[in-house]
Amino acid sequence: MDTQTTATGTLTLGKAINRGLHHALAADDKVLVMGEDVGTLGGVFRVTDGLQQEFGPERVIDSPLAESGIVGTAVGLAYRGFRPVVEIQFDGFVYPAFDQIVSQVAKLRYRTRGRVSMPLTIRIPFGGGIGSPEHHSESPEAYFAHTAGLRVVSPSNPQDAHVMIRQAIACDDPVIYFEPKRRYHEKGEVDEGVDLAELPLGAANVVVPGTDVTLVTYGPLVKTAVDVAAAAGDEGISVEVIDLRSLSPIDFAPVEASVRKTGRVVITHEAGQFGGLGAEIAASLTERCFYHLEQPPVRVTGFDIPYPPSKLEEHHLPDLDRILDGIDRVMERPNSLSGGAGC
């Protein structure tokens, strides 16, 4: 018996994923972990640390530096009944495997009329905030959320990270699992004994209840959004923070219920604004809640530029001040950042 699977304790987000991978490897010998440096090194972020030593090099496999080959090999393994877990070392390195993912991984179940499932999990550390340049700090989630046949999720805290990686591996659909790399070292309580059967994969979560504005986000910006809610509360504005958890499909029911209550919504993510998930969420909420909206939805996002040099990323990424400005705009309050009131 894996005695650690029922433990409760404080873990970093990265270690919580490691424990989820450990649990999956221990529970099912069809689970494999693959990627560049995941074995001997334990991953560039040490998320797979110790797994090869415990489960061996035939189950925790150091691959060549060839993302398309890694995912292509995993497709073949999934075809043969395995449950591969692939690590893409950094977000910007996923593009060589993009064709494999959108042309093969996403479509095989549909193409075979359900006769072949594709239980493949693709882990991608994503987002900025760690002082790295382009290729190491990108937010490509909209590309994959746009592709039918893929599930796309992103945890924001250690408990969710642990549960959602186990849910992803147990899922018979391919799952893109975006890990907020700047949150890897943040700690939280993790109950490793959670019954996965009790939880759907990626149900949206109301992190902070509120009544004036709905603030929708996911992954790395959830913690920032919680800080925003506290700061806005000091000014008498009650902000409800919703962590989407799943980016495709989106669990719209709690978001819609919140917007019907508050009448105002701000959506924030690190990716650029044009064609981003914020556009889809704003359009969907406008369709669903048009007569309940007091103002048009406001988006606070990264800028529509290639990811900037690391010395400039603090200006590129949405922070507390920019999100508070978005809340002021949807509340029709003037401020010193954008100046005017209203949208």
Q: Annotated catalytic sites, by residue?
A: 136
- What are the backbone dihedrals phi and psi of residue 291, each rounded to the nearest 5 degrees, phi first? -80, -5
* Strand pairing class (83-87; 8-12): unpaired
Cα 284 to Cα 145: distance, rounded to the nearest angstrom: 15
Task: Match 């877990």 to its residue by tokens.
Answer: 85
Amino acid identity of residue 246, one-letter, is S
Instruction: Give the orientation angle of helix 221-234 with respect to helix 320-330, to 10 degrees.
Output: 60
Which among 178, 176, 174 has a CA at the least distance from the CA of 105?
Answer: 174
Extract the tokens encoding 207: 């992190």
| Residue 235 three-state SS | coil
User: For the chain, what's the residue count?
Assistant: 343
Element (H, E) at 189: strand 187-191
